[in-house]
Amino acid sequence: MAERYFLMTAKKSIPIKDKLTPSKLIKILPFDNTKHSTKAHKHNGYLELVYLFSTTGTHEIDGKSGEIQNPFLLVIRKNAVHKWTLRTPVEGFVILLKNEFIANSLDLEIGKLIEKITKIDHLELQNITTLKTILEILATEENPIVIEGLFKSLLAKTVESNSPTESKLRVNLSLYDSFMDLLINEHKIINSVAHYANLLNTSPQNLNASCKKYTDLSSSEIIANHLIKEAKRLIYYTQKSMSEIAHELGFSDKSNFSKYFKKHTGHTPKAFKQTIN
């Protein structure tokens, strides 16, 4: 797909849209056919996945524009400035996703799949019948357990449908991308921004700035989210004692682990385990 780069006309500020209520972490809905054209804007802290199964037009994301080729997925990252112009009626779906949805999920694969998808700006899709079926069910489903399972299936089918070519990948992966790769793929999470900055040959300040740019979270908050998620998995899926879990996650003792867990979740590991039982 031919692409061009340009400078957006300077304005006082870029409009920010927020289509999710504070308590809503994921929203799936059919594409609104009244939204054929949008002005350049960005979103208030959520990822947007736009599945387009039949339309023609152009899209622009962070200064990069191109033609929409059906069937098509647009990946609009948090804080990305974007707009589109669609020339024909649209058949498609829109997914709005907050960080908290991924952070709250105990399924590690969802985070990995999201990371793969968000390394691209767009993707030409296959497996259309399957994708449509999953999206149609998701658009009306209310059960959070079913939503999480179907969403994982959708992500897996999306990744499977077409492995992105080198030209579709962002040429220079950001520090944030590389940081997330380390967190997801390393065997053990280290609770130290300096540790990851050193591995990435940068400073903690630069790493923090990159994380803030893409997620509105600091690098230490992102590490904390991953640590807490791993802690929840160990509590939920294993019979290990709190002392064993604390040691495995790098805490000096279970008391420090308990304080850390409560600081980030609002309750102790013991209380969390009781909610499971």
Summarised one tens digit per residue, pLDDT across range 114-167 is 888 887 778 888 888 999 999 999 999 999 999 999 999 999 999 886 554 433
DSSP 79: T
Note the pLDDT of residue 22. 47
Domain termination residue (choose one: 168, 202, 236): 168
Residue 18 has pLDDT above 90, yes or no: no
Whether 206 maps to a domain, the answer reads yes
Distance CA 251, CA 247 (A): 5
CATH number of 29's domain = 2.60.120.280
Summarised one tens digit per residue, pLDDT across range 31-86 is 988 777 888 877 767 889 999 998 888 888 877 778 887 788 988 887 677 888 88
Place of tokens 């399972």: 149
Distance CA 70, CA 126 (A): 10
CATH number of 193's domain = 1.10.10.60
Same domain, 78 and 179: no
Same domain, 139 and 265: no
User: Can you tell me the mean pLDDT for 237-261?
Assistant: 93
Query: CB neighbours of 190 closer than 8 A, spacing ≥ 6?
Result: 196, 223, 250
Same domain, 162 and 205: no
Note the pLDDT of residue 116. 82
Percent of the chain with pLDDT over 70: 86
Same domain, 132 and 94: yes
Whether 163 maps to a domain, the answer reads yes
Percent of the chain with pLDDT over 90: 40
Distance CA 51, CA 234 (A): 35
Distance CA 10, CA 76 (A): 21
93 or 88, greater pLDDT: 93
Q: What is the CB neighbour count within 10 angstroms for residue 220?
A: 15
User: Can you tell me the mean pLDDT for 193-212?
Assistant: 93
Which of 124, 126, 131, 118 shows the shortest CA–CA distance to 165?
A: 124
Note the pLDDT of residue 17. 53
Same domain, 272 and 148: no
User: Can you tell me the mean pLDDT for 165-185?
Assistant: 66
* Host domain of residue 231: 175-276
65 or 180, greater pLDDT: 180
User: Can you tell me the mean pLDDT for 102-118?
Assistant: 84
* Strands in 6-150 per DSSP E: 16-17, 26-30, 42-43, 46-54, 57-61, 64-67, 72-76, 82-86, 91-98, 122-124
201 or 20, greater pLDDT: 201
